[in-house]
Amino acid sequence: MGFPALVDRGAAVALEVFDEPDLALAQHRSGLRRLFALQLKDALKYLEKNIPDLQKMAVAYMQLDGTQEELRQHLIDVALDRAFLMEPLPQNEAAFHQRLEEGRSRLTLIAQEVARLAAFVLNEYATAARKIKDIKPTSFAADAAADCLQQLGRLMGKRFLATTPWTQLQHMVRYLKAITLRLDKHRSNPARDAARLQELKPYEQRYWRLVAERKGVQDARLQEYRWLLEELRVSFFAQELRTPQPVSLKRLDKAWAQINS
């Protein structure tokens, strides 16, 4: 059995067959995005030249070893996803053209929304990175800072816009604020921070170990667990920021059991 998908070829798309359904879906979304982009060349040229605060964002983005052009393309890709790739995906020519017309009128507003969110995220990233950098390796907060640096790296690779689900991207500012707030609070109760970190470590280690075993491929349950870890960090280290739903070690254990069922 094979799984067909559209594949992005830059100036066109091609049809290929894959052995794995998850890989086929990922390729198909990229190919479908390209197919929409090819129908919107003029609109995309306008967007590329009118992304608000792009140069300012690019300064922070450089800390992620990314270029302004890469940032621009990621912003456009996310806007296309938001405008045209909602489920269910179009399955035939008629559905494609209907989706094209529905999304065309809102693409500019969506692109502005994406850029605004990205600006907030990059600004908060810069604040958290500075806070971590200011803590000396010999400081009493060195262990917390090292953990925060690792967390920051996992949240904010240069492809964070492309790889973070939109739902979670909307929470990214809160996750980054939690890092800064944690380090601000550390001095008042370092023992509590250390104890919480020891509770958290086994839960993170088993997740990243499984991700490595699966070579980065994540299903919906593993994705859910990954973001529960971030919510647990907020709950442990920055309760003031709150979580959208209750989160606890017990809930993570239950989610892990479902992954392994």
Summary mean pLDDT of the chain: 95
Residue 162 has pLDDT above 90, yes or no: yes
- Tell me what pLDDT residue 137 has: 83
Residue 203 has pLDDT above 90, yes or no: yes
| CB-facing half-sphere around the CA of 37: CA atoms within 13 A | 24
Residue 188 has pLDDT above 90, yes or no: yes
Q: pTM score, two decimals?
A: 0.93
- Tell me what pLDDT residue 23 has: 87
For residue 190, how many other CB atoms are within 10 A of its CB? 14
- Gap between the Cα atoms of 32 and 55, Å rounded: 29
pLDDT tens per residue, range 103-114 = 999 999 999 999
In this prediction, residue 192 has a pLDDT band, given cuts at 50, 70 and 90, of very high
β-partners of residue 133 are: none
- What average pLDDT does the segment 234-260 reach? 96
- Gap between the Cα atoms of 134 and 148, Å rounded: 13
What proportion of the chain, given as a percentage, has pLDDT over 70? 100
In this prediction, residue 71 has a pLDDT band, given cuts at 50, 70 and 90, of very high
